[in-house]
Amino acid sequence: MSKKIYVAAYHQSAFGKLGAVSVPEIVRRAITEVCESIAVDPAVCDLGAIGATCNISLNEQGLLSGLMAEVPGLAGKPLEGVENACATGGQAILAVVTKLLAGWGEVGIAVGFEKMRDDQGKMDGKAVGRALGFFSHPEEREGKVYVFPHLFAEVMDAYMKTYGVTEEDLAYVAVTEYQNAQHNPYAHMRGVTPSVADVLRIEGINRYIVEGLPLKTYDCSQISDGYAAMILATEEGLQRLGRQAADCVELAGYAQATDPLRKGVRDVLRPEGAYRAMQAAYAMAGVSPEDVDVAEVHDCFTVMGAIGAEVLGLARPGEGARYWREGHAAVGGRCPINTSGGLIAKGHPVGATGVAMVGWCAWQLLGRVPAPLQVKEAKVAATFNIGGPICASVCTVLKAPEA
Ligand SMILES: CC(C)(COP(=O)(O)OP(=O)(O)OC[C@H]1O[C@@H](n2cnc3c(N)ncnc32)[C@H](O)[C@@H]1OP(=O)(O)O)[C@@H](O)C(=O)NCCC(=O)NCCS
């Protein structure tokens, strides 16, 4: 029986615009602020992992583990930089967990961030589109400007045609998430509340991103700055931190799987690696989809909200969009999904996202999210974080202290 792993602390910045803050300062803030949240010194950590997907291309900075080691108390410890596209944050958590299980230490820190906007908060959508495009297969990237919106416009088109789903069905994913984000103080899109009609109407910022394909601006996740950090610990580690297991969420199940990068060679509507990772995480936690009370899925585009519900096992293949349309994913629904606002409305600072999904679920299970978003008596949570064209998946299952 391997050791139990707990989320000892979680902290994030508001997602959106960080302004004039350097990359070393982002790393320093992420680490010191999560430590401050439970009144410990960074030196308490035995090891760590960090990732920021586009940092080399957008900010010309690599070797992020070295920036972690700049924080007093972390130098000379096993610190690792990780990258798995938009699943980088989830991968940073797993890098810490596997080292804790291997006995390298009892307390570890996982950090994810992204700085995608300039110091004035402006973004260059085309430049970001190119930088994100590096995480696709070269043969599938050719000729595309907004590479990922384009690839997922194809996925959306295929999903709609295969299952007889409409743009209106998928609009409910965006509308539900924008509504949730209004109550999340960390969300990028506070103050933006589109209706289904707004999501469908081509007007102002809302346009078809690629001619002839159904994906519109409101179907897309945000280009956001932000950071997220988590302290993970074994039972022995919790003692060192002065925390009780009875007060902490357990990371009861976790798994990772990666499919071939080219989406054209496989069934992306039923991504094998994603299903496999989710099922492995459920099996490890000893739960099934019916046990899940709240979830966060990787809705980089609305179609992924639908596919995410299917990967979680909450809806059958092809019925994920209906799950949202019928209100089952809303707060108060059968199993609320993306109560944080998701990547579409909470925002998507790519490297931070996987950490933030687990962190928000931990807050849900501790009863610590704002009242309008709080799922009552939530005991089990699940997350599904993906990188690339539904290529690399990190899935987790969390259990509330008394579950
Ligand atoms: C949808 C997208 C292509 C729009 O990019 P763009 O055409 O360069 O941006 P626009 O010129 O339309 O945006 C102009 C403004 O509208 C804002 N805006 C964009 N989408 C918005 C939305 N859904 N709601 C409200 N405002 C929005 C932008 O933030 C920007 O304002 P700012 O400069 O004050 O920040 C871009 O947001 C995008 O690529 N999103 C997906 C990101 C992605 O692929 N992530 C990885 C997933 S795998």
Q: What is the pLDDT of residues 49-68, one digit of tens each?
A: 999 999 999 999 999 999 99
Q: State the closest ligand 1 atom to the C-alpha of 174, by its place in the atom list counted from 1.
A: 23
In the three-class reduction of DSSP (H, G, I as helix; E, B as strand; rest coil), residue 203 is classed as strand
Nearest to 52 by CA among 139, 129, 111, 140: 111
Instruction: State the angle between helix axes of 167-181 and 302-311 in degrees (0 to 180), rounded to the nearest 10.
Output: 90
Q: What string of DSSP letters covers 135-162?
A: TS-HHHHTT-SSHHHHHHHHHHHHHHHH
Task: Dihedral sign for Cα 62, 65, 67, 68, please.
Answer: positive
Residue nearest to ligand 1 atom 9, measured at CA? 125
Which of 53, 154, 222 most suits a substitution to test ligand 1, by most atoms within 8 Å of the C-beta? 222
Residue nearest to ligand 1 atom 6, measured at CA? 125
In-domain check, residue 137: no
Which of 220, 386, 391 most suits a substitution to test ligand 1, by most atoms within 8 Å of the C-beta? 220
Q: State the closest ligand 1 atom to the C-alpha of 217, by its place in the atom list counted from 1.
A: 1
- Enter the tokens of residue 210: 């690629």
List all residues 6 or more positions away from 239 whose beta carbon is below 8 Å from its beta carbon: none
CATH number of the domain at 11, please.
Answer: 3.40.47.10
In the three-class reduction of DSSP (H, G, I as helix; E, B as strand; rest coil), residue 247 is classed as helix
In-domain check, residue 125: no
> Ligand 1 center to residue 125 CA distance, Å?
7
Which of 150, 223, 268 most suits a substitution to test ligand 1, by most atoms within 8 Å of the C-beta? 223
Give pLDDT, residue 92.
98
Predicted TM-score (pTM) above 0.85? yes
Rounded distance, CA 308 to CA 386, Å? 10
In-domain check, residue 127: no
> Ligand 1 center to residue 234 CA distance, Å?
40
- Enter the tokens of residue 341: 């606002």
Per cent of the chain over pLDDT 90 is: 98
Q: What string of DSSP letters covers 261-279?
A: S-GGGS-TTS-HHHHHHHH
In-domain check, residue 139: no
What total number of domains does the chain contain? 1
Sheet holding 47-51, edge to edge: 79-81, 47-51, 107-114, 226-233, 6-12, 249-258, 392-399, 380-387, 294-297
Low-confidence ranges of the chain (pLDDT < 70): 1, 403
Rounded distance, CA 269 to CA 2, Å? 34
> Ligand 1 center to residue 102 CA distance, Å?
42
Residues 155-190: tens digit of each pLDDT:
999 999 999 999 999 999 999 999 999 999 999 999
Domain that holds residue 244: 1-117+146-398
Tell me which DSSP letter residue 270 carries. Answer: S
In-domain check, residue 293: yes
Rounded distance, CA 388 to CA 134, Å? 9
Ligand 1 residue neighbourhood (C-beta within 6 Å) = 86, 122-123, 125, 129, 132, 146, 148-149, 189, 192, 205, 209, 217-218, 220-221, 223, 300, 348
Rounded distance, CA 365 to CA 93, Å? 18
In-domain check, residue 278: yes
> Ligand 1 center to residue 126 CA distance, Å?
10
Rounded distance, CA 91 to CA 255, Å? 10
Residues 99-146: tens digit of each pLDDT:
999 999 999 999 999 999 999 999 998 899 999 999 999 999 999 999
In-domain check, residue 140: no
How long, in residues, is the chain? 403
In-domain check, residue 138: no
> Ligand 1 center to residue 261 CA distance, Å?
25
How many helices, marked H, and strands, marked E, lie in the chain?
14, 9
